[in-house]
Amino acid sequence: MLDISALLEEVKASPYVESSVKTPHSGVVSFNDDLKPGAALFGPQGLYKEKPGTLLANLERERVSKSINALEKGELVAVNTELAGRFVQAGTEIMRVRHFLSRKEVLDIILKEALHLFRAPEKAKYYFVPAVDLKVKNTGPKSVSVHDGMDLFIISRMKRETPLRYSGPDGVIYAVYFSVHQNLDAGEPLIGICPPSQVNQIEEVAMRVQTEWPDE
Amino acid sequence: MEDKRFNQLKERYNYMHDILAGKNNENLRLLASRLEELDSRFPALSARERETAVTSLEDLFNFVEKKIEVELTPMDRVRIVRNPQRICLRDILENVYDNYTEIGSMGEHSPDPAMLIARAYITRRHGKRVFNQSVMVIGHEKGHGEEIRNGGSAQPWGNAKALHYMKVAETENIPIHTYVFTPGAFPVEDTPGAAQQIARNLFEMGNVKVPILAVFSEGGSGGAEAVGLADRRLMLSHGYYSVISPEGGAAIEGNVKRGPRATPELIEKVASDLCITAQDNLRLGYIDRIIQEPNLGARCHHFDFFRLLRQEVLRATDEIVLDVRGMQPFRAMGKRSRRKKIEEGLNMENVRMSWNLSPSAQERLMERRHRKFRGLAGQAFIDPRTKWDLFKQGLNETFWELAGYIRYDLLRKRQQNIANFFGEIRSETSLFIKNQTAPLRRLLGKAIPPLRVKRNGEAEKQLTTLSDWNDGNERGQWSYVSPKAKEDKAVICPNSATHGCLDMWAPDLYGEFAGVCTNCGHHFPMEYQWYLYNMFDAGSIHEFNAEIEARNPLDYEGFDLKLEKAKAATGRKSSCMTFEASIQGINLCVYMLMAPFRGGSVGAAEGEKIILASERASKKRLPLLAYVHGTAGIRIQEGVNGVIQMPRCTMAMRRYIDAGGLYLVLYDTNSYAGPVASFLGCSPYQFGIRSSNVGFAGPGVIQETTGVMPPPHYHSVYKALARGHIQGVWDRREARFNLHQSMLTMGGRNLYYK
């Protein structure tokens, strides 16, 4: 059985993701001199993420220079300064950067580990079958037990309605990710399922993350 | 009573303060101090004293207004027309027309509150009889600064609504009065895009069969043209009509992109250099008459001005109608005496004049409208052709027309009739022989060998083997190779991050690959020469009218030098090259806008060359191709000489299309603004080379005007295709083949090969 508290402690112990920045191809590296270890980095910004992230380095090959930019918000951990001005092969690590996890990302990690997500197979509107819908409305989704092969949803698209059966591990519905009349894209989660015994534990951890995790 | 008059004086002061934007301090300071002084002692004054004090101050205001009036700069006039106190279209409807009904709008409940349509009528009296003359009033509504009106910036669907009701007016055979109160079109690329809709409006308005009268107050570029194409164009004396807003022009002149704005001095200078006032436009011939406003511009309480406007509107509409009625020689005398009477103060309301037009008068009306616009901007370019050259050209054109008529109308029709006749005889004969010999063939059976079918190797190959786009080009062996292919360097594809494209070696990319990424198909920009040598048959290009040259018609400061530089750098005299060429043996007429010459911008010289090309294509019965290597829009330094090319050239294209031609447009790299919103955008067959951009205003201008940042790739040809602006996206390497296919399958009947 999954130990959710341990998972949270693990995330709290290292509340970030550290990754290395590697050269996409061979070339001569030149670093952004303004950046020192500990410097704050920004990912792509703007309404459409049209502004590139912080410039980390330039890579020149065959008289053409390619910029390497930060992909996420974070902090610069280390720079392999000995590579500055040298020719490197593709895939060479030139920097290490650290991205601090946001509250939402931590919750996502925990729920991803703890829940089984049942996803929408196609772009459509989704409804619970009437019996389940009634139960969800009256006593909440956590009172609904599901099992593999159970008739759970109705897919409605362009006036055509077809039933959809649940497939996955048995459990109770921990979270519902759609609302009535909402159009969902294929692949978006519909419900999150967990074993009945873990419901309280997940709720508690989620609450702790909401209250304890520092805001962005 | 005096209180009201005193408050009105305060309002007049505020108005003056606004339109002068802090200038003329001495005059304004004097008025301010006198107002303040009177304000402080006003409560203590008796009624008689108040009246005397207010009257004296009113006299002073009148004196100062008169003084300021003669010193108004063009930019002051811009501020006048944008002031919320300025008259707006609803004031005109209330005061100039006797009755009106707004169509399709109630305040904010309208497809576009910036565009107002109304059915109105003007009452005229003749003796004891009363006549109500209906008109369709269409124009921009600024609503005295109401937020929903966007300052009179019509959105595409507003212009679409205007066009719809122009067609309604045409059906009902009533004149159209348009009022131009716009700083420019609202630059969005939704469905339809701003450019797309303005082009449609211009294309249709050229042939609307009822009189159109336009009154300009604020004529901002393409937005103004969308409803400003008219038989008579009047202008309010304090209005402006310009290719670009002075602020926009200053931003371009000052090379201001983001952050700091252009200085007020630069804006003032640009406003002055662009020749935007009513007097300038009358001198240049782009308006027919000026309607004099009161000092410092017309406001709602100027009822004398509305009376004058009513007279002018009646007079202009009458004149349009009189000009196209039959029996013109007899009418000439009447028109002269009428003009004299009007000058002597004839009240137009007491003149009986029907505005209905007969079908033949409607034809003459359209012809006059086309002739009017064809004759504009003649002074704005250099045409070194002598009278002898023009005479020879005229002879040539007559010969082409005559030869075309004999060859394609007379002979070909006869030839077709003869061919059809013999075809029928042949089929009847073969059927007869078949029937007669059928018993014999049955008897002899297999003894008679089957008929031998002549085998056509090429056709058989085409039918039985798969085609390859590279078949005609010997696998990347192009006739012209870009100079960029000589550089020894790698090139990064802009899609490498999303599509994983590898870097390419410049000689490969710009040579064999024709500037196309081998992985994602991104098209890198190529020189126009690449298309000249690879799209058309080798040695088939024959340029004409190369001697027509762009100039600086407004003596815009510093522009002569820029123009000379462009001419020296490109070896061309304008950004437009017109030539005849052939594609796989089919001759066609081409005009090409070249991006290296001042961004491919269009001025009077380019407009003239485009019109001449369309006329030549029409007379020689050739398809007309517009290859747009790139265009940044109308050349702002030419002012209205440039922007007038929008209706001029669109009407020329209309004439060409109506005559049965095939007008194809091929966009490459970046094509924006005026040309796309007129003579390019009006084509029924527009195609884009992959990775090119087509639109009305660039992302910076859209954000500046609408306050919303457009999404990435907002102007890409695929987006233009999705919103119905263009009809297809072509690979550069297939352009030749696709053009040939288009010439064979599209277009009307006035093509020599059809």
- A21 backbone dihedrals φ, ψ, rounded to 5°: -95, 120
In this predicted structure, what is the pLDDT of residue A151? 94
**Measured between alpha carbons, how far is B369 from B749 in angstroms, rounded to an integer?**
25
In this predicted structure, what is the pLDDT of residue A172? 94
**Measured between alpha carbons, how far is B219 from B169 in angstroms, rounded to an integer?**
23
Which chain B residue is nearest to residue A59, measuring alpha carbons? Answer: B492
Asked if B488 and A63 come within 8 Å (Cβ–Cβ), the reply is yes
**Measured between alpha carbons, how far is B231 from B213 in angstroms, rounded to an integer?**
6
Give the bridge partners for B138, in sequence order. B117, B178
Neighboring chain A residues of B487 at a CB cutoff of 8 Å: 63
Chain A: give the shortest CA distance to residue B267, in Å: 31
Domain ranges across chain A: 15-101, 105-212
pLDDT tens for B126-145 read 888 899 999 999 999 999 98
In this predicted structure, what is the pLDDT of residue A158? 86
Give the confidence band of A112 by pLDDT, cuts at 50, 70, 90. confident
pLDDT tens for B567-595 read 999 999 999 999 999 999 999 999 999 99
Tell me the average pLDDT across B177-197.
92
Q: What is the CATH number of domain A15-101?
A: 2.40.50.100
**Measured between alpha carbons, how far is B579 from B543 in angstroms, rounded to an integer?**
4
Q: Is the pLDDT of residue B450 over 60?
A: no
pLDDT tens for B609-660 read 999 999 999 999 999 999 999 999 999 999 999 999 999 999 999 999 999 9
Q: Is the pLDDT of residue A92 over 60?
A: yes
**Measured between alpha carbons, how far is B345 from B369 in angstroms, rounded to an integer?**
29
CA A108-A111-A113 angle, 5° bins = 105
Q: Average per-residue pLDDT in chain A?
A: 89
Predicted TM-score of the model (pTM): 0.86
In this predicted structure, what is the pLDDT of residue B606? 96
**Measured between alpha carbons, how far is B535 from B550 in angstroms, rounded to an integer?**
27
Tokens matching residue A29: 């590296």
SS3 B178: strand
Chain A: give the shortest CA distance to residue B549, in Å: 40
In this predicted structure, what is the pLDDT of residue B476? 60
SS3 B241: strand
B489 touches chain A (CB under 8 A): yes
SS3 B21: coil
Neighboring chain B residues of A51 at a CB cutoff of 8 Å: none
Q: Locate all alpha helices (DSSP H) within B640-698, ordered by sequence.
A: 640-643, 645-658
Question: Checking phi first, is residue B308 left (phi over 0); if not, alpha (psi -120 to 50) or beta?
Answer: alpha
Q: Is the pLDDT of residue A82 over 80?
A: yes
CATH 2.40.50.100 assigned to domain A105-212? The reply is yes
**Total length of chain B:** 754
- Residue B326, judged by CB atoms within 10 A of its CB (0-12, 13-18, 19+), counts as exposed
**Measured between alpha carbons, how far is B202 from B191 in angstroms, rounded to an integer?**
18
Sign of CA dihedral B527, B529, B530, B535: positive
pLDDT tens for B198-207 read 999 999 999 9
Q: Is the pLDDT of residue B218 over 70?
A: yes
Tell me the average pLDDT across B178-197.
92
Domain with residues B82-374, CATH architecture: Alpha-Beta Complex (3.90)
A135 touches chain B (CB under 8 A): no
**Measured between alpha carbons, how far is B324 from B345 in angstroms, rounded to an integer?**
25
pLDDT tens for B418-435 read 888 888 998 888 888 888
A51 touches chain B (CB under 8 A): no
Same fold, A15-101 and A105-212: yes
Query: Is B220 within 8 Å of B194 (Cβ atoms)?
Result: no
Place of tokens 């023009």: B390
Q: Containing H/E element for B8?
A: helix B2-20
DSSP B350-372: G--------HHHHHHHHHHHHHH
pLDDT tens for B101-135 read 999 888 889 999 999 999 999 999 888 889 999 99
Give the confidence band of B346 by pLDDT, cuts at 50, 70, 90. confident
pLDDT tens for B27-41 read 888 888 998 888 888
E strands, chain A, where? 16-22, 27-31, 40-41, 55-61, 64-69, 74-79, 87-88, 93-100, 116-119, 124-128, 145-146, 151-157, 160-165, 171-176, 183-184, 189-194
Asked if A63 and B489 come within 8 Å (Cβ–Cβ), the reply is yes
pLDDT tens for A2-15 read 677 777 788 888 88
Q: Report A:12-31 residues touching B (Cβ under 8 A).
A: 25
CATH 3.30.465.10 assigned to domain B527-745? The reply is no
Neighboring chain A residues of B491 at a CB cutoff of 8 Å: 64
Neighboring chain B residues of A25 at a CB cutoff of 8 Å: 503
Query: Is B205 within 8 Å of B174 (Cβ atoms)?
Result: no
In this predicted structure, what is the pLDDT of residue A128? 95
Asked if A48 and B712 come within 8 Å (Cβ–Cβ), the reply is yes
What share of chain B has pLDDT > 70, as a percent?
96
DSSP state of B688: E
Tell me the average pLDDT across B272-300.
94
In this predicted structure, what is the pLDDT of residue B703? 84
- Cα B202 to chain center, whole Å? 6
Chain A: give the shortest CA distance to residue B496, in Å: 11
E strands, B360-407, where? 381-382
In this predicted structure, what is the pLDDT of residue A156? 92
E strands, A145-198, where? 145-146, 151-157, 160-165, 171-176, 183-184, 189-194
In this predicted structure, what is the pLDDT of residue A2? 62
